[in-house]
Amino acid sequence: MLPRLLRTYLHPYTGLLVCVLVLQFAEVMASLYLPTLNADIIDKGVATGDTGYIWRMGAFMLGVSLAQGVCTVLATYLAARAAMSMGRDLRGEVFDRVSGFSEREISAFGAGSLITRNTNDVQQVQMLVMMSATMLVTAPFMALGGIFMAVTRAPGLSWLIGVSVPILLVAVGLIVGRMLPLFRSYQDRLDAINRVMREQLTGIRVIRAFVREGAETERFEGANTDIARVGERVGQLFVLLFPLVMLVLDVTIVGVIWFGGHQVGDGDVEVGTLIAFMSYLMQILMGIVMASFMTIMIPRAAVCAERISEVLATPPTITSSPDAVDTFPTPGTVEMRDVTFVYPDADARVLAEVSFTVQPGTTTAIVGSTASGKSTVVRLPA
């Protein structure tokens, strides 16, 4: 559902996304080039005392950094514009579809769920587009480019990458795998809390009339506790991710300094090369972290996209005829004749053989006990 939804609603903004891709590629290339320039300054400038070389290369590094910053700002702006525009279009489409729903479709989804699908669910898909256009595009370029540059600069230390990267991938995979089932549960509980809140707001007079404030408070606290419990579990797993990444990164850096220091002492590696290797190592691991962060967002956005697609794929059961009259020359009469109505999957009829006539310019009051079908009578002519 997610790829189809994105393909449909991002198609008008293909040009913006292509520009983002080009800018992100240029930004990553500049980021990968900076450690090499830094290594050259140390090995060819500082080590030899060539002040002129240091100034020239320092100015060049400044120019590369400025170009990198400009590419980052432009890419972020264009990605945000594409994502927000897609979200606007998607929200409008969902709203138009829900506006045509009859009471049957609204009851099937639930008003609270429809509100969530057109707000939070669309926002999750929108955020995925923006983060994917920035982080998901950058992560593979940074990781693969960092591996290539690190192996090229210091082949004797590249085995540290072969050890640290698989360990990090396995650890992140285990954490993310346990988080995936929680996202669907979280969205369902978000529907529940929205439904409870909406019912309490619309029925506040009835709640006060029957002195049910305490019961409704307990009902809301139950829904609130459920979503908090799921969110807490997600947070407990998520909070393990970055400390784990930093642990692997720190241990790997210690290994680089230890083994690289011996190679510097033996004359196999220069100091600038060792520093550049550490920079590339950090870029590799940060690329993996960004990719892992996206793997957390994608499943949740996929759930939201599925829920949105369910709304868009549901045709209204009541549609207007192409030949329907839009305007009437004179005020009309509202009349029901022997109307019987039952809600889907209900055990009993709400209305049975109801007949009445409302003449133009008159006011008719519908009186009855709770759950006698007054609201249904009002909704049916609409």
Shared domain check, 179 and 63 = yes
Q: How far apart are CA 301 and CA 194, in angstroms?
A: 19
What is the number of residues in the chain? 382
**Any domain includes 317:** no
Residues of the chain with pLDDT under 70: 318-331, 382
Shared domain check, 356 and 238 = no
Shared domain check, 338 and 298 = no
Q: Which residue range(s) make up the domain with 59? A: 2-312
Shared domain check, 373 and 259 = no
Q: How far apart are CA 124 and CA 130, in angstroms?
A: 10
Shared domain check, 274 and 205 = yes
Three-state DSSP class for residue 339: strand
- How far the first Cα of the chain sits from its last, in Å, is 34
User: For the chain, how many structural domains are there in total?
Assistant: 2
Handedness of CA 166, 131, 32, 50 (dihedral sign): negative
Shared domain check, 87 and 157 = yes
**Any domain includes 320:** no
Question: What is the reported pLDDT for 328?
Answer: 61
Q: Considering just the CA atoms, what is the radius of gyration of the chain in Å?
A: 31
pLDDT digits (tens, 9 = 90+) for 130-164: 888 888 778 888 888 888 888 887 788 888 888 88
**Any domain includes 329:** no
**Any domain includes 202:** yes
Global confidence as pTM = 0.71
Shared domain check, 363 and 230 = no
Shared domain check, 118 and 177 = yes
The CATH number given to whatever domain includes residue 76 is 1.20.1560.10
Q: How far apart are CA 77 and CA 356, in angstroms?
A: 60
Shared domain check, 349 and 295 = no
Question: What is the reported pLDDT for 324?
Answer: 63
Residue at token pair 């009993």: 348
pLDDT digits (tens, 9 = 90+) for 183-192: 778 878 887 8
Can you name the residues that pair with 341 across neighbouring β-strands? 351
Handedness of CA 307, 122, 131, 3 (dihedral sign): positive
**Any domain includes 128:** yes
β-pairing, 334-341 with 351-358?
antiparallel
Question: What is the reported pLDDT for 323?
Answer: 67
Question: What is the reported pLDDT for 75?
Answer: 92
Three-state DSSP class for residue 340: strand
Shared domain check, 223 and 306 = yes
pLDDT digits (tens, 9 = 90+) for 228-268: 998 888 888 878 877 887 888 888 888 888 888 888 777 77
Final residue before a domain boundary, out of 312, 345, 363: 312
Shared domain check, 362 and 297 = no
For residues 1 and 309, the answer to whether their CB atoms sit within 8 Å is yes
Handedness of CA 62, 64, 65, 69 (dihedral sign): positive
Shared domain check, 357 and 213 = no
Three-state DSSP class for residue 358: strand
Can you name the residues that pair with 356 across neighbouring β-strands? 336
Half-sphere exposure of 323 (CA within 13 A, CB side): 0
Residues with Cβ within 8 Å of 43's Cβ and at least 6 positions away in sequence, in order, are 270, 271, 272, 273
